[in-house]
Amino acid sequence: MRIAIDAMGGDHAPDVVVAGAIEAAREWSDTTITLVGDSNRIEAMLGDAKPANLEVRHAGEKIEADDEPVKAVRRKKDASMVVAGRMVREREADAMISAGNTGALMTMGILVVGRMKGISRPALAPMIPTLDGKGILALDLGANMDSSAEELTQYAIMGSIYRKKVEGIAKPRVGLLNVGTEAMKGNEVTKAAYGLLEQAPIHFLGNVESRDVLNGPCDVLVCDGFAGNIMLKSLEGAASTIFSALKTELRRNFMTKLAAAVLKPGLMKFRSSFDYAEHGAAPLLGIDGLVLKSHGSSNAMAIKNAVRQARIAIQNDLVQSISREISNGSEM
């Protein structure tokens, strides 16, 4: 297997990306890893630690976190992210991973790797942590702010195949993000999507309310990018606000500090289960190749885990399976 990694993307690039790539190359000797970016810097960091199955490909530019996506992808043809994407398009790599600018990565996926035939809009599908540890794959959580009922149905099919192929869930439960559980709840789009989802080749549970999401009511949650982002940022915001207020509460006086010391290990573990950065890379589904988005704040372990995910997806023919299902559907 050949996996390309955008060495220049992410808050701590290229250091942690290179470190993660080294670990991944050491762990999986059957996989060739190509670090794409400033070859001088990367080679200097690698030094004598470079495993035999780790390559470097030079890319003279990089896309910054605040670059305007479409402009950046169009103009920076030699950006590390774009070069890695081209490797996927040219079948020089079976997958690529980037922790860089999310909007640019989605744009790159469409413009460079290319949309999958029959797919109207590719979707970004991160894992939302749940209390049971299993997580919910939610899509779209990318840039598709207004999605049609047909697009939501495609998200459902793609997300379902992902959890089946990459995580071995035999019959992923699909939910539609909505404001109530009854079929006729919601806005015009969710009402129309409900009917289509009932007909789709998936295990559709019905509507899921955002208040239940952390309890893991489904395996795949379908939403447009607007509602999905509102939900995700509300969950993150509430968790972060509550934990920081709790911290203040625990520091109030001597007695509460003592109590806090007793509780610390448990609380730390509990806190980390709400940490969105620790739940793997998000696949960009619906493009003609495998592209994974690592969290911007990824550490070396996160990069290595993204390689693990990519390997499983490649081994299980994720992209081909989605393509098959979508072309079946389009004949319906």
Contact residues for a copy of itself (CB under 8 A)? 131, 145-146, 177, 179, 186-188, 190, 209-215, 224-227, 229-231, 233-243, 245-246, 249-250, 252, 255-256, 258-260, 262-263, 266-267, 270, 274
The DSSP element (H or E) to which 175 belongs, if any, is: strand 173-178
Instruction: Say if residue 6 is preceded by a cis peptide, omega within 30 of 0.
Output: no
Query: Nearer Cβ to a copy of itself, position 47 or 266?
Result: 266
CB of 228 to a copy of itself, least distance (A): 9
Q: Give the shortest CB-111-to-a copy of itself separation in angstroms.
A: 20
Structure tokens at 2: 């050949």
Instruction: Report, in Å, the least distance between residue 320 CB and a copy of itself.
Output: 33
Closest separation in Å from C-beta 71 to a copy of itself: 13
CA gap 153, 268 in Å, rounded: 38
Both tokens assigned to 102: 């999310």
CB of 84 to a copy of itself, least distance (A): 26
Q: Which is nearer to a copy of itself, 84 or 177 (CB)?
A: 177
Q: How many CB atoms lie within 10 A of CB 3?
A: 27
Is 307:97 a contact under the CB 8 Å cutoff?
yes
Q: Which residue's CB is nearer to a copy of itself, number 122 or number 142?
A: 142
Beta bridge partners of 298: none
Are the CB atoms for 51 and 26 separated by under 8 Å?
Answer: yes
Among residues 127, 128, 131, the alpha carbon closest in space to that of 270 is found at: 131
Q: Which is nearer to a copy of itself, 45 or 177 (CB)?
A: 177
Q: Is the peptide bond before 14 cis (omega within 30 degrees of 0)?
A: yes
State which residue, 225 or 289, has the beta carbon closest to a copy of itself. Answer: 225
CB 105 within 8 A of CB 311: no
Least distance in angstroms from the C-beta of 262 to a copy of itself: 4
Distance of CA 273 to the CA centre of its chain: 17
The residue (of 1 and 267) whose beta carbon lies closer to a copy of itself is: 267
> Cβ(303)–Cβ(17) under 8 Å?
yes
Q: Which of residues 131 and 301 has its CB atom nearest to a copy of itself in the complex?
A: 131
Q: How far is the CB of 260 from a copy of itself (least distance, A)?
A: 7
